[in-house]
A and B are shown apart, each in its own frame.
Chain A
Amino acid sequence: GQQVQQSPASLVLQEGENAELQCNFSTSLNSMQWFYQRPGGSLVSLFYNPSGTKHSGRLTSTTVIKERRSSLHISSSQTTDSGTYLCALERPGGYKVVFGSGTRLLVSP
């Protein structure tokens, strides 16, 4: 079965609204990363967050290992936040990094 599940699959916001993106995983993890991808662009790392909470500007990532979930919170969304957000899990022992299917975010003015 799928090891990493992201929700929602897509999200439409009005500029200024907040967003909460979820990533649930069914296996143990060594690390959790969040990436952003603009249409036609490459993947940009937002957070490397194996556990706990990290902040970067309007973005907050929280990983709770016991609950097997990680979230990405975007506050006061802007149109430039539009794109796809992906979470990625690295399993212990140096296994391959497995990606979720992504959340496609559209922020309208």
Chain B
Amino acid sequence: NAGVIQTPRHKVTGKGQEATLWCEPISGHSAVFWYRQTIVQGLEFLTYFRNQAPIDDSGMPKERFSAQMPNQSHSTLKIQSTQPQDSAVYLCASSLETLYFGSGTRLTVL
């Protein structure tokens, strides 16, 4: 079991560019979560899927952020027109009961 896999580990974009982050949850896990973490804000909930269906996206900035889970084996978080304030570590987690986190994608927007 490789755990939750996130790619890329690091991504640098210019202001206004698009960023797509990938997450492969642990096989068999029914829930997939996206969080982002910064020193200032700490760990912020973004969105959550259960059995591939979006359940709660209350943490997502509405205009530029979107998340999909087209099949059981991966989820994507897309940020359009990235801004410097989007710079953060984006963490994906999956669970049946216990929550398991990936290593995260560090996004830097210049």
Identify the A interface with B (CB < 8 A): 31, 33, 35, 42-45, 48, 86, 88, 94-99, 101-102
Which of these, A88, A95, A99, contacts B56 with CB under 8 Å? A95
Nearest-CB distance from A87 to chain B (Å)? Answer: 11
Which of these, A45, A101, A102, contacts B99 with CB under 8 Å? A45
Give the nearest-CB partner of B42 in chain A. A101
With contact pairs A42-B103, A43-B101, A99-B42 given, residues A94 and B33 touching in the complex (Cβ less than 8 Å): no
Nearest-CB distance from B7 to chain A (Å)? Answer: 14
Kindly identify, within residues 8 to 67 of chain B, every residue whose CB is under 8 Å from any CB belonging to chain A: 31, 33, 35, 42-43, 45, 48, 50, 55-56, 58-59
| Assembled-state Cα–Cα distance A62/B7 (Å) | 35
Contact B45 A96 (CB under 8 A): yes
- A sample of 18 cross-chain residue pairs with beta-carbon separation below 8 angstroms, ordered by A number, consists of A35-B99, A35-B101, A42-B102, A43-B93, A44-B101, A45-B100, A88-B99, A95-B56, A96-B45, A96-B56, A96-B58, A96-B59, A97-B33, A97-B45, A97-B95, A99-B35, A99-B42, A102-B43
